[in-house]
Chains A and B, each alone.
Chain A
Amino acid sequence: MPASANPNRKWSLTQEAFDGFLGCLADDRERAAEKYLEIRQNLIRFFEWRGCQFPEDHADETVNRVAKRVSEGEEIRNPMAYFIGVARLLVLEILKARAKESQALNEMATSSVEYVDSSDSEARIECLRKCLAGLSSDNRELILQYYQGDKGDKIENRKKLTERLGVSVNTLRMRTLRLREKLQSCVENCVNNIGM
């Protein structure tokens, strides 16, 4: 079993508790829902950055814990800071659980994940081509050129792109970051749809 924190937790999120929790994020329910999604996404990033194996599960567990505290009457002034504080405590629990597991398995390195290339690369490439075809020609050209070449060539390519587009290196970086996120999401959907 992977390292997970608090396996004997009894409290579970009720609709009432979730409503109360949304209420502490914003007065307007729609705005609160947006805020919730943003916080959840940041929590997933946080657990990824901390090298946790199940970032989404841990993000949901953090939300549950905060919702529980809100239902108990706790007032939250700075939601993101509060969530991250709770998430940090959860990371400590995860690390402790992992250390115990590791000890139990005679100090075997359970935390290290052997990375094996998956065999679905052909299908992923096909999906990427389809998703690229869905982009505007400017964006398609931009992202392909941004990622062309190795080391020196790549830097040179990017420099030329900034000159051609008349933007700063950082603006170009952010633009391709957004395109890349969009493309990755499209590729994941495509891969899931063809049942891999």
Chain B
Amino acid sequence: MDIPISHFNQEMIVRYLLGELPEKQQVEIEDQAFQDQQYLQNILAVENDLIDEYVRGEIPLNKRQKFESHFLASAERRRKVEFARALSTVASESEVFESVPVSSDAPRFLLNPLRAFIQSLNPAAAFSVATAALILVFGASWLIRDGLRQRSQLSQLRAEQQAQKAQQRQLQEQIANERSRNEELAAEVEQLRKREAPLSLPREDQSSVKPAPTTVALMLLPGLSRGSNQRPKLVIRQAAQTARLQVVVDPQDDYPRFLVELRTQRGQRVWGQENLSARATRIGHTIVLNVPAKVFGSGQYELSLKGTTAAGIIEDVGYYYFEVSKQ
């Protein structure tokens, strides 16, 4: 019996095949696949579709990288990709041939008047014309054969060109998305800074009535590059004992555990913590760090965030840059 496609979560299977699912879900899929032949066949079909999309350059860039590092790890899988490439070429060739129907009656239609013409000539002239006709036939068949070979090469080139074009389109889209995301984040950071400014930089008259806070806070958002001039700034006054850093994590980075390291601009490690977990908050998934204020001096800092998978593998998640002003 067919399993309706809706009951078979294709997107999840794609994530599974790209090694993006947590261990628990991987186990569930595998257990079902090895108990249910139909489910297994569906996974294999999704696998083929994924390979075909890769060959045609239809996979988005972020998935493409996963595909190459995880999916193509084994020689068997690489052979499957080679096969898909050949199948795509041959299928597009047959598309070309189907669009140009050839009538099998045509040669017979041409041959009959030619035969009648040759029969009407004297033997010497008939021999010459027949020889010329033979040369013409061989020449034409060679040309046709060569034409077919060129057409085959052309369709292969066309398939490759299509794949390249699709990849180029995806890259352009991705660059545009990243650019707009950076602009949004920069605007968000600017807003947050404006909102936080009265709190972290109290005016003279306010500081005279209120005691200086012992904890200062800063929110770090993903996506800002090292060279960005929109870095968030943490102002640490003398009385401050703890700097609370709220690190916002991309929801896709759903690692069970995280670890962070703080480094100066010169790369010197000043602080680190392991076994951290991200919590869902109003602004997204965040990790809260309470860093002793004494580890900071005035200057630029880099916070590296790494995720630990269920299997204990440590993977890079991202880098956050900020500036500290100690007063």
Contacts and interface: CB of A to CB of B under 8 A. Distances in A.
Contacts of A149: 95
B69 interface: yes
A95 B312 contact: yes
A47 B40 CA distance: 14
A160 interface: no
A22 interface: no
A179 B314 CA distance: 41
B312 A96 contact: yes
A44 B31 CA distance: 15
A49 interface: yes
A49 B17 contact: yes
A112 interface: yes
Contacts of B82: 118, 120-121, 124
B89 interface: yes
B35 interface: yes
A90 B83 CA distance: 29
Which of B4, B70, B74 gathers the greatest number of chain A CB atoms within 10 Å?
A: B74
A161 interface: no
A48 interface: yes
A150 B58 CA distance: 9
Contacts of B73: 51-53, 111, 113
B86 A128 contact: yes
Is chain B's interface secondary structure helix, strand, loop, or mixed overall? helix
A80 B37 CA distance: 12
Nearest to A102: B313
A151 B58 contact: yes
B35 A51 contact: no
Contact of A99 (B77, B89, B92, B313): B313
A170 B2 contact: yes
A132 B83 CA distance: 13
Given A99-B312, A115-B68, A180 B48 contact: yes
Given A115-B78, A118-B82, A125-B156, A132 B30 contact: no
A117 B30 CA distance: 30
Given A46-B30, A80-B35, A99-B313, A125 B90 contact: yes
Contact of B311 (A45, A52, A95, A170): A95
A115 B68 CA distance: 7
B31 A84 contact: yes
Interface residues of B, number: 55
B5 A121 contact: no
B255 interface: no
Given A84-B30, A99-B313, A174-B45, A121 B76 contact: no
A109 B86 CA distance: 30
B41 A53 contact: no
Interface in A119-139: 120-121, 124-125, 127-129, 132
Contacts of B31: 81, 84
A147 B312 contact: no
A169 B5 contact: yes
Interface string B49-85: 0001000101000000000111111101111111101
Contact of B79 (A113, A127, A188): A188
A71 interface: no
A12 B3 CA distance: 42
Given A52-B73, A147-B88, A168-B2, 12 more contacts: A45-B33, A53-B74, A113-B72, A118-B82, A125-B152, A125-B156, A144-B91, A149-B95, A170-B3, A177-B48, A187-B83, A188-B83
11 contacts: A55-B74, A95-B311, A111-B69, A113-B72, A115-B72, A115-B78, A115-B81, A125-B90, A149-B95, A170-B4, A177-B41
